[in-house]
Structures are given as structure tokens and as C-alpha cells.
A and B are shown apart, each in its own frame.
Chain A
Amino acid sequence: MALNKKIEELKKRREIILQGGGEKAIEKQVAMGKLTARERIINLLDRNSFTEYDLFVEHDARDFDMDKKTLHGDGVITGTGTIFGAPICIFAQDFTVAGGSLGLMHARKITKIMDHSLKMKVPLIGINDSGGARIQEGVNSLSGYGEIFFRNTLNSGVIPQISVILGPCAGGAVYSPALTDFVFVVDKISKMFITGPEVIKTVLGEDISMEDLGGARVHSEISGNAHFYAESEAECFEQIKKLITFIPWNNLQKAKKFPPKEPKPEYRINDIVPGDPRQPYDVRDVIKAIVDDSDFLEVQERWAENIVIGFGRLAGETVGFICNQPLVLAGVLDVDSSDKAARFIRFCDAFNIPIITLVDLPGYLPGVDQEHAGVIRHGAKVLYAYSEATVPKLTVILRKAYGGGYIAMASRHLRADFVFAWPGAEIAVMGPEGAANIIFRKEIATAVDPEKMRKQKVKEYKQKFANPYVAAARGYIDSVIVPSETRNLLLHAIEVSGNKSVYLPNKKHGIPPF
């Protein structure tokens, strides 16, 4: 029958295109330690859930003998599928087809699936593995990038956007991941930069390898461009799947609720924080003593470690944590940690995720480099993000909260909904040492034994002001609590704030100190 033949033809056509760039190119891809684009999609999505779009798309380029070339799928695979049942729009650049280079139709496939994700209000995952613009297609290729960036911006805050860098992602192409919410990188596979090592060599005369310039480690430890670092593609896919379980599909929903679970008993919350405010501890232990099953998904674990951000659950509901980390740089706010916190606050706020802030910081990092790098402008982002956030904001002051740092870390004054303090909290305009040096300068200078006098004055100040009760007396904190009460009080606070509604003044948009 005629239809049978046509079905046969369809199958044949499919089969050819599914081979991607052909055996040789696939061999090369495997030799680089990489999976093919199709394998990646299949490994990431639920089994048999992938539905492909635009398999038969072909490029339309004429110049440089391009009309004689067939590029299967034009170097990108797009479609929809699910992860743990959550619907997903996905695209994966296919490096085996013309190096995954981006031409007009390649870009159109991507923008089509992006438009689809916005319309359907489902998360978008983009797997980047591309040599860059398809030079033969000239300005058409540039238009493609521009259309992608524009849609990244429109989608921002409506649907979660995830970028996975599994190969080179160079030049203008890196701006798409930079506009998305989470960037995943894999050691030895991911490479991101604006200008590559060759350009740097010819223009600047500096020798640097691709890995040292824009490898996975660089972006997860130095530049802060990446949010999740993995040793292998398999580990990376597990991280993506886990993240998807914590976040909602779009800005109109809440994240899926999970069955509640108690934290693991080995995290004993009363014993983690040392009494002496100058002694360190790992704030992640406190988080794990609070969240369900002690399960905490840290974001940007390796960059600006003086602040810890990430997701956990309280009685099954996703919450976002922003916590000073006394273990690194005494937990100060600085340029990088401010950027890291501010962006995460905005993500949580956009996607209806309550924010829990654990406070223990001595203030801002002093230094010429910090001032010259604009710690004023960067630090202001934290104030802006907290002030603007309308999701439930719950704050627990674990220990130190001095000066500007106290204000910035989700204080009552920035409209935190609940502010709890542990009994060891020191809420003051500055630390006892600094304050005593200023207030009692004369007494100390004129004393017979200045050092002894200084110590005495520090002690005096500590007793009078370095406690939670001065702030509690003004209602700046709502309650001084025993550490072991923290989880239950936070659970209660989340429950109470389930219908929170706040109205911000009508405006087109604010002007955050970007």
C-alpha cells in the first residue's frame, strides 16, 4: 500500500537524521569523553519521555558551498519531556554536526522551544556544546544569538532556566547561560569564555590553556559564573534532576511538596555553634540540623564560600537558605558574597520560595581591593534584594550581627516576617572590641595599664550591648529562642505566612545596583 511505503520513507529519513554527524564525528565526541547530544537528553529525562521537535529542519545557507552540505537537524536537538514527572522543554546542541555551530535555523529551533516553554510555563534546560557562530552564515548567525538572549530575558522570572555546559561555549554564546538561573559545568568538559586562548595570545601575548582560562573549576571557583560543578556528565545530570525537585515549574506555582521528614539525629543543633564569637563552625551543619532529612542542596558551593546558599525542605515545602559562613573569611559580606546572595534571593522571590536567613557575621570585609572593586555597589544588592522580596522572610540570628551586616541580613528593618535570635546572639552597632576602642578611647589611653583597661571596657560593653535583649526590647527581633526550638518555630512561621501578601509601590521596575 502507498501509505506503507510512505511510512517506510519516514522511517528511513528519521534513521539518517538520528545518526547526527555520522560515525566519525561521534567517535571523536566519545574520544573527548563526552556523550552525544541525544544520549544526554535520554540520560537526563525520564525514560521514553522525550518528544522531539523539528527533526527535519534544514539550513538555508548558500554561500561558501554551504548549499552542498546537509547538516542533520542543523546541529541541535529540541523537544519536550519530563524529569520525575515534571514537564521540561529542552534543547541540546549536537557537536557532531558542524561542531554544533549556530546558524539561522539552529537558532530558530532553539527559540521555538524557548517560546514554547514560556507559553506552557515549564522549565527550560539548554545543553550547550558548540564551536560558536556558524561563520558561513554571517550576520544571520548573530541574529540567532540575539533572539536567544532576548527570550532568555523574557523567560527570566517566569520559568526556571537551566544551562548545562557540556563542551565549548565561547564568544557571544556564553551570554545565554549567563542570563539563565543555574549553570551546570563538568570538569574537563565545560569551557566558557568570551575571548579564547588564541586571541589572548595574539592580542595580549599571554599564554593560557582553555582549562585555566574558562574550565569548569575556573567558573565554579573563581568567576562565579557556574552554580553546580560535577566530575562527570552522569553526576551533572543527577544534580539537575535534584534541583528540579526543589523548584516550581513556573512563577505562578509553588514547588512540589514532599512527605515531611525529621532531620538526621547526628546534627545536634544545640552543640554546633561555639560560644566565643571568634571561633568558627560550619553553618551547613546548622542548616542540616533544621531541614527535612538533613538534605541540603548547596548552590555555588565553591565560590564566595563566606556565604552559603541553597535549597532545603521544611515539612516537605521547599525553602531557600542564605547563611553567613563563619568558617570562611569569618563569614563577612564582600563583593562576591553579596552578588551571590542577592541573585539567589531574587530567584527565591521570583519562584515563591520562602527565604530563611541564618545570620552570623562580623560585618563587611575591610580592604582597598574591596572598596575599589565596589563593595558599596555590590553590598547594596543584598539590601535591595531583601527589601524587594515579598515571599515569607524568616531570619534566625545565630550569633554575631554587627553594624551594616545586621541590617543587610534580612533584618526586621528590611521587612523580615519573623526574626528569631539565639541566646548567644550579639546584635550591636559593632563588635565589642571595636566599640570599646572608640567609646572609651580616652579612658584607655590615659589608664595606667591601657591593655587592662581596654579588656575591662570590652567586657563591660559586651555585657551591656552584645546580647539579643537590647534589640528584643525594641521589637526588632520577635523572640529569643533555644536553638533546639528553631526548626519547629520555622515550621510554624512558614505555616502562618502561607497567605502572605505585600504590595509594593506601582512601578515599571526598580533600578537595582546591578
Chain B
Amino acid sequence: MANKAMSDSNNNRDTGNKEGKKPSTGTENINRRNETQKEPVEVDKNPRYKSLIIEGAKYRTFLNRKFENRKKWYIPDPKKIISYIPGTVVKLFVHEGQQVVKGDVILILEAMKMKNRIVFSRSGKVKAVNVVEGDKVPKNFLMVELE
């Protein structure tokens, strides 16, 4: 990804913000978060500085929590039937090795007081069934897999 952030160890330049002036270079913010640090840290040694590449230019900057915790994108695999919501498998209609066609109901996943019919989006042979009736499954759980 173009905006992949990496640590910027050899780029420890001054921000132009230090000499003679009151530096409020965001270190206030850090201090509030790590209450142990009371004195503002030296700006040019601040490990919070990372780099961010936008349109080919590498910017020296802080990253925020949301950015650092962003999820990587994966191409969804239609052969994998994954729970889109946490719930209880109240009924299971398929077993391993079974031939299924598009539109067949796989199981009933009860969640938020609603009995949700989970349906195959393609035809094939069931490779694995990872749940039994009565199972409570979390979100993003691989319940059934096609070959």
C-alpha cells in the first residue's frame, strides 16, 4: 500500500520548532496519554515521529491510533462461509462431503432475536463443517467451507 507507514530512524531532524520558543509540538498530547512522562521529551528524539508517504512524498509526522490499528484488506473468499454477526447456530442442514447448489440453506444463525438463514452463494462440495447445532459463534468465525 502506498501509505504504508514505517519507522523513520535515520530522519531525526529538528522540526524548526524548538529553539528559543515554547515547544508545544504535540508532546502535551503524549504526556497526557502516558501520565508517567511529565517533562516534554526532546522533539527531535521523539519516537512518535513516523513517516507517511502520500503521492510519492515522505512526510515526517505522528500517526494516530485509528490509523495504526486500521485493518488490512483481504479479498473475500466465497468458498468460506463466515459469520457476519455473532450468534447461535440453531439449525444445521449440511454435513461434510455433501454436494450443494447455489441457494441451499446451510444453517440458521440466530442473532439479535432474528433467525438468519445463511445461504450458499455458489455450488460445490462441502469440505468442512466447523459448527454443530447449539454452538455460539463469534463474529468472523469460519463456520462452513466449500472445496
**Interface residues, chain A, with chain B CB atoms under 8 Å away:** 203-206, 221-222, 266-268, 271-275, 277-282, 284-285, 288, 301-302, 304-306, 326-332, 336, 362-363, 365-369, 372, 402, 430-434, 436-437
Q: Give me 18 other A-B pairs in contact (C-beta within 8 A), A280-B61, A285-B22, A365-B3 excluded.
A: A204-B86, A221-B65, A267-B22, A272-B17, A278-B59, A280-B25, A280-B59, A280-B62, A281-B16, A282-B17, A282-B25, A285-B24, A305-B29, A328-B26, A362-B59, A363-B54, A365-B67, A434-B57
Minimum CB–CB distance for B110 against chain A, Å: 10
Q: Which one of A272, A275, A433 lies within 8 Å of B56 (CB-CB)?
A: A433
Cβ of B63 within 8 Å of any chain A Cβ, yes or no, is yes
Please state if B24 and A284 are interface contacts (CB–CB under 8 Å): yes
| CA distance in complex: A204, B49 (Å) | 38
Query: Would A278 and B60 be within 8 Å (CB), given that A203-B86, A206-B86, A267-B22 are in contact?
Result: yes
Minimum CB–CB distance for B31 against chain A, Å: 13
| CA distance in complex: A159, B23 (Å) | 37
Please state if A328 and B56 are interface contacts (CB–CB under 8 Å): no
Interface of B is mostly: loop
| CA distance in complex: A461, B58 (Å) | 17
| CA distance in complex: A332, B67 (Å) | 12
Q: Which one of A222, A329, A432 lies within 8 Å of B67 (CB-CB)?
A: A329
Name the residue on B nearest A437 (C-beta): B56
Please state if B66 and A336 are interface contacts (CB–CB under 8 Å): yes
| CA distance in complex: A368, B64 (Å) | 17
| CA distance in complex: A326, B119 (Å) | 48
Minimum CB–CB distance for B22 against chain A, Å: 5
**B82-119: contact bitstring with A at CB < 8 Å (1 yes, 0 no)?**
00001000000000000000000000000110000000
| CA distance in complex: A302, B67 (Å) | 14
Q: How large is the interface on B (under 10, 10 to 19, 20 to 34, 35 or more residues)?
A: 35 or more
Query: Would A268 and B61 be within 8 Å (CB), given that A327-B26, A328-B26, A369-B71 are in contact?
Result: no
Please state if B57 and A366 are interface contacts (CB–CB under 8 Å): no
| CA distance in complex: A368, B4 (Å) | 12
Q: Which one of A279, A301, A431 lies within 8 Å of B60 (CB-CB)?
A: A279
Please state if A431 and B86 are interface contacts (CB–CB under 8 Å): no
Name the residue on A nearest B22 (C-beta): A266
Cβ of B136 within 8 Å of any chain A Cβ, yes or no, is yes
| CA distance in complex: A366, B29 (Å) | 25
Please state if B3 and A366 are interface contacts (CB–CB under 8 Å): yes
Query: Would A305 and B54 be within 8 Å (CB), given that A271-B16, A285-B17, A327-B25 are in contact?
Result: no
Q: Provide 20 A-B residue pairs closer than 8 Å at the C-beta atoms, listed in order of the A residue.
A: A205-B138, A222-B66, A266-B21, A266-B22, A274-B17, A278-B59, A279-B16, A279-B60, A280-B15, A280-B60, A285-B25, A304-B64, A328-B62, A329-B61, A329-B62, A329-B67, A362-B57, A362-B59, A369-B73, A433-B57
| CA distance in complex: A331, B67 (Å) | 13
Which residues of B are found within 8 Å of A266, using beta-carbon distances?
21-22
Name the residue on B nearest A268 (C-beta): B21
Please state if A271 and B21 are interface contacts (CB–CB under 8 Å): yes
Cβ of B1 within 8 Å of any chain A Cβ, yes or no, is yes
Query: Would A203 and B111 be within 8 Å (CB), given that A266-B21, A327-B62 are in contact?
Result: yes
Please state if B56 and A434 are interface contacts (CB–CB under 8 Å): yes
Cβ of B139 within 8 Å of any chain A Cβ, yes or no, is yes
Which residues in window 1-45 of B have CB below 8 A to A?
1-3, 13, 15-17, 19-26, 29, 32
| CA distance in complex: A271, B66 (Å) | 31
Q: Which one of A222, A330, A362, A432 lies within 8 Å of B65 (CB-CB)?
A: A222
| CA distance in complex: A329, B52 (Å) | 7
Which residues of A are found within 8 Å of B111, using beta-carbon distances?
203
Interface of A is mostly: loop
| CA distance in complex: A166, B22 (Å) | 34
Which A-B residue pairs are the 8 nearest by beta carbons? A434-B55, A433-B56, A274-B16, A330-B59, A368-B73, A330-B61, A433-B57, A369-B70
Query: Would A272 and B24 be within 8 Å (CB), given that A204-B139, A305-B29, A434-B55 are in contact?
Result: no
| CA distance in complex: A48, B15 (Å) | 50
Minimum CB–CB distance for B46 against chain A, Å: 10
Minimum CB–CB distance for A276 against chain B, Å: 8
Please state if A272 and B62 are interface contacts (CB–CB under 8 Å): no
Which residues of B are found within 8 Å of A363, using beta-carbon distances?
54-55
| CA distance in complex: A331, B62 (Å) | 10
| CA distance in complex: A281, B22 (Å) | 12
Minimum CB–CB distance for B77 against chain A, Å: 17
| CA distance in complex: A234, B24 (Å) | 25
Please state if A282 and B24 are interface contacts (CB–CB under 8 Å): yes
Name the residue on A nearest B86 (C-beta): A204
Which residues of B are found within 8 Å of A332, using beta-carbon distances?
52, 54
Among B2, B17, B22, B111, the most chain A Cβ lie within 10 Å of the Cβ of B17
| CA distance in complex: A432, B22 (Å) | 32
Please state if B64 and A305 are interface contacts (CB–CB under 8 Å): yes
| CA distance in complex: A221, B67 (Å) | 13
| CA distance in complex: A327, B15 (Å) | 10
| CA distance in complex: A329, B19 (Å) | 24
Please state if B49 and A280 are interface contacts (CB–CB under 8 Å): yes
Minimum CB–CB distance for A85 against chain B, Å: 32
| CA distance in complex: A434, B29 (Å) | 32
Among A281, A284, A329, A362, the most chain B Cβ lie within 10 Å of the Cβ of A329
Name the residue on B nearest A367 (C-beta): B3
Minimum CB–CB distance for B27 against chain A, Å: 9
Which residues of A are found within 8 Å of B139, using beta-carbon distances?
204
Minimum CB–CB distance for A188 against chain B, Å: 14
Minimum CB–CB distance for A132 against chain B, Å: 20
Query: Would A302 and B16 be within 8 Å (CB), given that A205-B136, A222-B66 are in contact?
Result: no
Please state if A205 and B54 are interface contacts (CB–CB under 8 Å): no
Which residues of B are found within 8 Å of A366, using beta-carbon distances?
1-3, 54
